[in-house]
Amino acid sequence: MACFVYMLRCADGSLYTGSTTDLDRRLAAHQSGRGAKYTRSRLPVELVYREEASDWSAALRREAAIKHLSRAQKLELIAASSGVTI
């Protein structure tokens, strides 16, 4: 089973980090307002980062690690994954 850690950029510019086993379904839930409470009032959201994890436990650990990063570090992670320099 594939597990993913992802980051969304919300309409207000904030970043949301989560994990899932079905990224397309989860993104659709966020976009429709059925996702996390945090993103419901910050629509629309845009997927800006995703990373595959080896298992659910690894995904949750990575999600926690990303949530502890500063905003600047998160933006660097996003830029590095897209090949864009800040």
pLDDT (tens digit per residue) in 63-74: 999 999 999 999
pTM: 0.91
Tokens encoding 6: 């992802």
In 3D space, the residue among 49, 2, 54 whose CA is nearest the CA of residue 27 turns out to be: 49
Q: Which residues lie closer than 8 Å to 74 by C-beta, 6 or more apart? A: 7, 15, 17, 66
List average pLDDT for each run of 10 residues in the chain, which is 86 residues long. Answer: 94 97 96 93 95 96 98 96 67
Q: Do residues 9 and 15 make contact, with C-beta atoms less than 8 angstroms apart?
A: yes
In 3D space, the residue among 4, 2, 7, 3 whose CA is nearest the CA of residue 79 turns out to be: 7
Structural domains for the chain: 3-82 (3.40.1440.10)
